[in-house]
Chain A
Amino acid sequence: MFADYSLAELGSIFVMQGFAGLILFSVFVLMALGLAIIFGQMGVINMAHGEFMILGAYVTYFTSQFFLNYVPGLFGAYFFVAMVLAFFAAGALGMAVEWLMIRRLYKRPLDTLLATWGLSLILQQVYRSVFGPREVGVELPNWMMGSISLTDSIEVQINGLFVMGLTIAITVAVALLMYKSAWGKQVRAVVQNRVMAGAVGINTEKIDRYTFGLGCGIAGVAGSAFTMIGSTGPTSGQLYIVDTFLVVVFGGAQSLLGTIASAFTISQAQSTMEFFLSGSMAKVLTLLGVVIILMLRPQGLFVIKVRR
């Protein structure tokens, strides 16, 4: 399959596809980060994660409309406002869901899967009834449009670069929060030993609720970033949920580093193959590869050793 291209062309193809892969990687990381917190730390399977992401995307869309109609002067900055709003909207919904539903199911992880699937169906229908079945897209501010040419045959889009920068910033923030802050220490303590964590005075229920809220909030931000590179419809979230779960499982459920590494591997493999094969076969081969590796190494790439 390489024979038809010259060496320089192949180089450009790999760089361009690598860049497309990096954008996919950013979306995977943003979605998987929230999921890694909820699934990896709490053991809850949140099938509605994609719908939390879409909530963030709709919030961003409406913020952009608001800025466009009422404060066009500040339109260039709407995205930052939208991101914060998306975080709090998705986070608040997540905390409500945790309180109403998830907290009764911590001992039955398979049942959280079914219940949150039900939730995702309900949310999809809510979006469809409230926002309409058509996909919506936001208008990018001027500074985010266009692309930078690195060489004659290599171009990178600015919105893609922005999403990547955002991904790095959020990942660093989450890592700091989980591994450097007192709150993160409490979360990890609850994960490792709930009873002992409670015994030393940590309010485990509150930690659960905020952890779930944080995971959903990050999904909201992911949705916000998602609007920069694609349009949003009521069922867009479901397209990514299986990939995201594979990313988290493949990386080793409790390791943030593993999540990032596996998101990188999967997205790069997929986008590089996409150029040479059809899109569907690239996806099939990637997913199949992940499943086969998981059969050989069920605990994922990175494992945290915890005495239980």
Chain B
Amino acid sequence: MSKSSGRTFFLRPQDMIGIAILAFILLVVLPLALDNFRLQFVGKYLTYAFVALGLVLCWGYAGILSLGQGVFFGLGGYCMAMFLKLEASSVENTKIQTTPGIPDFMDWNQITALPWFWEPFKSFAFSTVAVVLVPAFFALILGFALFKRRVGGVYFAIITQALAAIMTILIIGQQGYTGGINGITDLRTLHGWDIRTDSAKTILYFVCVGLLLACILLAFYVKSSKLGRILVAMRDKEDRVRFSGYDVASFKIFVFCLAAALSGIGGAMFALQVGFMSPSFVGIVPSIEMVIYTAVGGRLSILGAIYGTLLVNWAKTSFSESFPELWLFGLGGLFIAVVLIFPNGIAGLWQSYIAPRLGPLFGGAARRTTPPAATPPAAPSSGTAAPAAAE
């Protein structure tokens, strides 16, 4: 991307239009068109969109396929859930327990004192920071160990998948400390503000959208920076980048940590909006499903990932409501189709079929500012995904 005249900021004009359309859909159209119940569903889907966003950077741009994003989603979610759970288990609320003041599941498991790693989560400030830093730190250790030793591609995918399995088994096994298979449930208030009411959920929806838009801007910034171009170069010819004097491993570690932090934010928003966190969002199956959201949206498209997440989840919800048996066929078929038939997802379809026809309508303005880049630029794919948004 050369510094063409149409680019004032780090966003190209068509990116700005795309973000504006997305913001309009999420902030205006959906809240007006959907009832509270459905809007909460969209809010839940959008928490997965944080993960999909991270995967676009990590997988689409840097070529690192992580099958363990659920771990980071879970870490972020658990950090938030632990804070909320501690607030919900005040001494007055839990006076019927053997040990008042600790979460109910600990009491059921004959634990009489709060474990040391729960202590810091009494502080809201610490928990908020932990939501971002715990997943990022975990990713840092993992990335440092693997990328410095040049483990990549398939091996990285398998190892991260194994970690997702380990994490699930660990959470389920250590029931007294983590709530086991039920997870951390019955979250009530945030600083005394009841998060279970409809109005609170609506506010949280807008907070979630706001955070998501901020993360999208961050992703665009990373993509358009020099760092973003090195990531793409690394994906396409790793050795050449290494021989040019760049420390390939550090770039990979950075983008992996960034993706982990984004997933953590998503997890925290999930815990806030849905009111619980459980190992069923950590394991192998959710982690790989998050990859498919990205793949359906277009692994190279930042905005596409959001639409992909909404589309797949909307399809999942409506199929599982009416034809539960068909959904696995649909999801399985989607995996195969997105690999064999449209590898660039809906963003790719938009790019090759719809965008060329829209070009003349705007006097070819878009074309002048789009140099023939090596990677298809992120395109607003609102047209294709509109049915999803409108339900």
When the two chains form the complex, which single residue of B146, B158, B169, B340 contacts A284, counting CB atoms closer than 8 Å? Answer: B169
B361 contacts the other chain (Cβ, under 8 Å)?
no
B338 lies within 8 A of A295 (CB): no
Cross-chain contact A246 with B291 (CB below 8 angstroms)? no
The binding surface of chain A is classed by DSSP as helix
The range of chain A's interface size is 35 or more
Residue interface mask A94-121, B partner, CB < 8 A = 1: 0000000100110011111111011111
A280 to chain B, nearest CB (A): 3
- A249 vs B154: C-alpha distance when bound (angstroms): 10
**A118–B163 CB distance below 8 A:** no
Q: How far is the CA of A117 from the CA of B289 in the complex (A)?
A: 10
Query: How far apart are the CA atoms of A115 and B335 in the complex, in Å?
Result: 5
User: In the docked arrangement, what's the CA distance between A298 and B146, Å?
Assistant: 8
Question: Which B residues are in CB contact (< 8 Å) with A281?
Answer: 173
**Which residues of chain B come closer than 8 Å to A280, judged between CB atoms?**
169-170, 172-173
- B151 adjacent to A119 (CB under 8 Å): no
B153 touches A110 (CB 8 A): yes
Asked if A122 is at the interface of the complex by the 8 Å CB criterion, the answer is yes
- Assess the A287–B332 pair: CB atoms within 8 A: no
Do residues A119 and B336 form an inter-chain contact, with CB atoms below 8 A? Answer: yes
Query: B residues 110-164 with Cβ under 8 Å of A?
Result: 145-146, 149-151, 153-155, 157-159, 161-163
A258 to nearest B CB, angstroms?
A: 14
> Quick one: which of B157, B332, B333 contacts A113, CB cutoff 8 A?
B157
Please state if B328 and A245 are interface contacts (CB–CB under 8 Å).
no
A68 within 8 A of B: no
CA A255 to CA B250, docked complex, whole Å: 31
Q: A125-B332, A242-B162 are in contact. Are A109 and B154 (CB under 8 A)?
A: yes
Residues in A whose Cβ lies below 8 Å from that of B333: 118, 122
Chain A residues in 8 Å Cβ range of B161: 242, 245
| Min CB–CB distance A115 → chain B (angstroms) | 4
**Which residue of the partner chain, among A43, A113, A290, A295, contacts B151 with CB atoms under 8 Å?**
A295
- Knowing A121-B331, A121-B332, A129-B325, the reply to whether A114 touches B165 (Cβ < 8 A) is no
Q: Does A288 contact B (CB under 8 A)?
A: yes
Known: A122-B333, A278-B173, A280-B173. A295 touches B149 (CB 8 A): yes
B154 touches A287 (CB 8 A): no
Given A280-B172, A280-B173, A295-B151; A111-B339 close (CB under 8 Å): yes
B285-337 at interface with A (beta carbon < 8 Å): 288, 291-292, 295, 325, 328-329, 331-336
B343 at the A interface (CB under 8 A)? yes
Q: Do B158 and A111 touch across chains, with their CB atoms under 8 A apart?
A: no
Instruction: For A294, list chain B residues within 8 Å (CB).
Output: 151, 155, 159
Q: Does A291 contact B (CB under 8 A)?
A: yes
Question: Which of the residues B151, B169, B170, B288 comes within 8 Å of A117, measured between beta carbons?
Answer: B288
Q: Is A45 an interface residue (CB 8 A)?
A: yes
Q: Is the CB of A249 within 8 A of B329?
A: no
In the assembled complex, which residues on chain A have CB atoms less than 8 Å from the CB atom of B265? none
Report which residue of B65, B157, B172, B332 has the largest number of chain A beta carbons within 10 angstroms of its beta carbon. Answer: B332
* A124 contacts the other chain (CB 8 A): yes
B211 at the interface (CB under 8 A from A): no
Is the beta-carbon distance between B149 and A298 smaller than 8 angstroms?
Answer: yes
B334 CB contact (under 8 Å) in A118, A246, A287, A291: A118
* Complex-state Cα separation, A238 to B283, whole angstroms: 12
- B330 to chain A minimum Cβ distance, whole angstroms, is 9
- Type the 1/0 row for B268-296, where 1 means its CB is closer than 8 Å to any CB of A: 00000000000000001000100110010
- CB closest residue in chain B, given A280: B173
Further contacts, 7 of them, CB under 8 A, given A117-B335, A249-B158:
A113-B154, A118-B334, A245-B161, A280-B169, A284-B166, A294-B151, A294-B155
